[in-house]
Amino acid sequence: MKLNWFTRKGIFYLPVSLIGWVLLLFAVAYAVYVFIDIDSHSHSVSDTLTNFVFNLLLIGVVYSIIGYFTEARKPKA
């Protein structure tokens, strides 16, 4: 089954379908929620950033794994 939800530009997966855009918006919204959540428990800016970047990369990894399996393949020349 081919799921053409994303297209790849370098190492980034860009959405090309409605489901792709929904997934991207969900990832961004979740990243914002995580930032607010971490910031409310942190004691310093570096504490917030260290934890947030880790979470942001984790979200990016999950998003990219989904993008890898649902990427629209270019036809072979």
Residue 61 touching other proteins (CB under 8 A): yes
**Segment contacting other proteins (CB under 8 A): 16-24, 25-33, 58-66?**
58-66
With contact defined as beta carbons under 8 Å apart, do 22 and 63 qualify? Answer: no
Nearer to other proteins, 17 or 42 (CB): 42
* Alpha carbons 72 and 64: distance in angstroms, whole number: 13
How buried is 61 (Cβ within 10 angstroms: 0-12 exposed, 13-18 middle, 19+ buried)?
A: exposed
Residue ranges in contact with other proteins by CB under 8 A: 8, 10-11, 38, 41-42, 47, 50-51, 53-55, 57-58, 60-61, 64-65, 68, 71
